Amino acid sequence: MKNWIKKTMVAAAFVVAAQSVAFAQSIGFSVNDRDNALPQLCYRINVEDGSATEVGDLVDNITGLNAVAEYEGLASVGSVLYGVSEFDPALGNPLERANVATISPEPASNPAGGECRRAIIGQSGDAAANTLFGTEAGSAYRSQDGFIYTVYGDDMTIGPRGEIMRLYTNSPTSGRAVFVGDVRLDTPTGAAIYVDGLAIDSTGAIFGSDGRGIAGQPESFYRINLPRVADPNNAGNFVVTATRVCTLPASNEDTGLAFDFANSRFFILYEGATPAAPAPRVQQITAASGACVLGPANNLNPLPIAGDFEAFDIPRQTVR
């Protein structure tokens, strides 16, 4: 075959492959908080255009009652979706205050109708001397060591060491939380920062998002650095440093963050204060010098009946 024909065929094949990637659909999952006295609802989200499909209420697999714990962290391990709840000491049932659970979407053809069934695998109690704190969380699975990583903290509360967020690992088999370190900017003695969205890429690198700009920091996309290091100001404590990759637009909203393994992209999910103003929305986020480059703001459509979307994950495999 002549060389020019070969080159033409290779070029055409490349274009077709590129178009296939460009139009490949990636499906994420989210669970909104209990908002305006409504139950938590779980959704499938096409991150390409924001089209959202309500699966149904998030219910307990044993009692059939609506889940009380608010799952702000989502992480998928293979075809299994895990929810990591925020820490809420006000809840009466200790198991509801902080736990890890599998979340299984059930089709509308089931007798109970469409719903997501929660099965608690364990209380995410802190095995170290550092107790969990705060009513914000974000999670992602790191296949390199087999743990779910979770940031716990609060946008309203400062911890005893001046920390705002702490990084933990959660066991996918027991839920057990083990303290990794307080999250600080650039150095072990740097400023405490707020991160409530968490994602881990194919290399095992950990990233976080802040859409609120807490403690005088601009809204940002961060890289969280392992391994942890000793805290020079607090004997026996540990710190993980975070490097600001780029800044995000001011929004004053909580966020979810997810990595699309199929297409090597990050997506950020803005919670939406209400269904309409501003709407919950998903955008591709690309690292850049200075300000992050964001793709089109794809509002979840049709608009959900409630806002407050923070949990976010794009599973590698079809979730069962």
- Band (pLDDT 50/70/90 cuts) for residue 97 is confident
Return the residue matching tokens 């920062």: 193
Q: 175, 70, 183, 195: which is closest to 126 by C-alpha?
A: 175
| CA–CA gap between residue 226 and residue 234 (Å, rounded) | 19
Alpha helix (H) ranges present in 23-127? 94-97
CA 77 to chain centre: 14
Rounded distance between C-alpha atoms, residue 214 and residue 193, angstroms? 7
Burial-class residue 67 by CB neighbours within 10 Å (0-12, 13-18, 19+). buried
Q: Using 50, 70 and 90 to split pLDDT, how confident is the model at 114?
A: confident
In whole angstroms, give the CA distance from residue 168 to residue 150.
5
Separation CA 238–CA 62 (nearest Å): 38
CA distance readout (Å), 303 to 46, 52, 255, 258: 13, 8, 17, 21
Q: How many CA atoms are closer than 13 Å to the CA of 35, on its beta-carbon side?
A: 20
| pLDDT tens digit sequence for 33-80 | 876 677 899 999 999 999 999 899 999 999 999 998 999 999 999 999
- Provide φ and ψ at 226, rounded to 5°: -105, 155
Full DSSP string of 128-181: SSS----SEEEEEEETTTTEEEEEEE-SS---TTS-SEEEEEE-TTT--EEEEE
Average pLDDT, the chain: 86
Reduced to 3 states (helix: H, G, I; strand: E, B; else coil), residue 125 is: coil
Query: Between the CA of residue 290 and those of 71, 245, 247, what are the distances in Å?
Result: 32, 8, 6
Q: Could you tell me the residue ranges of all domains in the chain?
A: 3-299
- 53: which 2 tokens? 């499909």
Highest mean pLDDT among 85-89, 104-108, 169-173, 304-308: 169-173
- This prediction has a pTM of 0.89
Which string of DSSP letters, residue by residue, matches 4-38? HHHHHHHHHHHHHHHHHHHT---EEEEEB---TTP
Assigned token pair, 272: 């939406």
**Beta carbons of 183 and 231 less than 8 angstroms apart:** no
Domain 3-299 has CATH 2.115.10: yes
Tens-place pLDDT, residues 266-295? 999 999 865 456 889 999 999 999 999 999
